[in-house]
Amino acid sequence: MPEWEEVITPGRFDGQTVIVTGAGSGIGRATALRVAKEGGRVIAGDVSQERLDDLVAEVPDLGIVPVAGDVSAEDSVQRLVAAAGGRVDALANVAGIMDHFHGLHELPDEIWERVMAVNVTSVVRLSRAVLPLMLGAGRGSIVNVSSEAGLRGSAAGAAYTASKHAVNGLTRSAAVMYGRKGIRVNAVAPGATVTHIEAPMDSDLAKEVIAPLFGAVLPPAAQASELAASITFLLSRDATNINGVVLASDNGWNAI
Ligand SMILES: NC(=O)c1ccc[n+]([C@@H]2O[C@H](COP(=O)([O-])OP(=O)(O)OC[C@H]3O[C@@H](n4cnc5c(N)ncnc54)[C@H](O)[C@@H]3O)[C@@H](O)[C@H]2O)c1
């Protein structure tokens, strides 16, 4: 693929407070950095204190506010919103985990419950917490990170696939419910992206059925900053007329 270089748009998020989850690594980290470099006050959530410390240490002058905690738990969500100090212009729900490619017949309860908690419940809890602030302000933008697995049944196991389809549903429901109140809610569906996400294929069924499909259609992996470019566009006011979309950012995988 041709080389891509991130170009900062100075001031695009000036005066705005933006919560980004999963900010310690990969797509969330790239999104937090992009927003902060473009003038936004970033409240950075991640379950890993160490990763957040690294992020802040890398750019100490950008004023990123780290809030460590499990974003599927209500107390962490409340701490993130409290750190925003009564104003949230935009929210990027990026934190997520993969499953182990289990099919339904072999899906362990603990994987189902954890994947749904981190990928779906966190989006419910955090959106629920910031929407009253956005409604009060009469404006706001939420971007949820979905996946290629939210667009098709052949990109992950049952739990992750169901979780990302649920993210799309939450996105569309909220877009309709709050669109006329000035709040836009969109999703980005990344294809393969170079990050630290773990995706062990622990299923013989997936090795037989899914793995060969990857070999046939998977486009080259993107850099996390390329996903941040898509996410920050939808977060920004340039996306003014866009509400309720699930935007594939996947090098064209969705078209195959
Ligand atoms: N990397 C890909 O190929 C890919 C493809 C499609 C979708 N996605 C989605 O992109 C999002 C970001 O993933 P990534 O690839 O950047 O992964 P990553 O593992 O590099 O980063 C995810 C971050 O989220 C944090 N996190 C995990 N669970 C958390 C929790 N309960 N509370 C708070 N923070 C938590 C992790 O500590 C990590 O820092 C996820 O929603 C993932 O499903 C990734």
% pLDDT > 90, the chain = 97
Topology annotation, domain 17-248: Rossmann fold (3.40.50)
Is residue 95 within 8 Å of residue 46, measured between CB atoms?
yes
Q: Which atom of ligand 1 is nearest to the CA of 119?
A: 41
Listed by start position, the domains of the chain span 17-248
Task: State how far the alpha carbon of 145 is from the alpha carbons of 20, 162, 164, in Å.
Answer: 11, 14, 8
pLDDT in tens, 119-158: 999 999 999 999 999 999 999 999 999 999 999 999 999 9
* CB of residue 248 inside a 6 A radius of ligand 1: no
* CB of residue 96 inside a 6 A radius of ligand 1: yes
Task: State how far the alpha carbon of 118 is from the alpha carbons of 98, 124, 160, in Å.
Answer: 10, 10, 10
* CB of residue 192 inside a 6 A radius of ligand 1: yes
- Look at residue 135 in the predicted model and tell me its pLDDT: 98
d(CA 184, CA 146): 16
- Look at residue 215 in the predicted model and tell me its pLDDT: 81
Residue 87 has pLDDT above 90, yes or no: yes
Given pLDDT bands bounded at 50, 70 and 90, which one contains residue 31?
very high
d(CA 108, CA 100): 10
Q: Which atom of ligand 1 is nearest to the CA of 95?
A: 24
d(CA 145, CA 191): 11
Residue 253 has pLDDT above 90, yes or no: yes
Ligand 1 atom 24: residue of nearest CA: 22
- In this structure, of 1-10, 18-27, 108-117, 177-186, the range with the lowest mean pLDDT score is 1-10
Given pLDDT bands bounded at 50, 70 and 90, which one contains residue 188?
very high
Given pLDDT bands bounded at 50, 70 and 90, which one contains residue 77?
very high
pLDDT in tens, 33-71: 999 999 999 999 999 999 999 999 999 999 999 999 999
Please tell me the distance between residue 94's alpha carbon and the centre of ligand 1 in angstroms. Answer: 6
d(CA 12, CA 118): 30
* CB of residue 27 inside a 6 A radius of ligand 1: yes
Q: What is the mean pLDDT of residues 72-99?
A: 98
Residue 43 φ then ψ, to 5°: -100, 110
Q: For a pocket test of ligand 1, which of 121, 197, 198, 251 has the largest count of ligand atoms closer than 8 A to its C-beta?
A: 197
Ligand 1 atom 42: residue of nearest CA: 96
Residue 15 φ then ψ, to 5°: 75, 0
* CB of residue 71 inside a 6 A radius of ligand 1: yes
Angle at 223 between CA 70 and CA 3, to 5 degrees: 165
Please tell me the distance between residue 96's alpha carbon and the centre of ligand 1 in angstroms. Answer: 4
Residue 2 has pLDDT above 80, yes or no: no
Half-sphere exposure of 239 (CA within 13 A, CB side): 27
Residue 72 φ then ψ, to 5°: -85, -5
Please tell me the distance between residue 136's alpha carbon and the centre of ligand 1 in angstroms. Answer: 30
- Look at residue 3 in the predicted model and tell me its pLDDT: 85
b/e code 142-153 from CB counts within 10 Å (16+ = b): bbbbbbbbbbbe
- Look at residue 217 in the predicted model and tell me its pLDDT: 84
pLDDT in tens, 199-228: 999 999 999 999 999 888 889 999 999 999
Task: State how far the alpha carbon of 97 is from the alpha carbons of 29, 179, 197, in Å.
Answer: 15, 29, 7
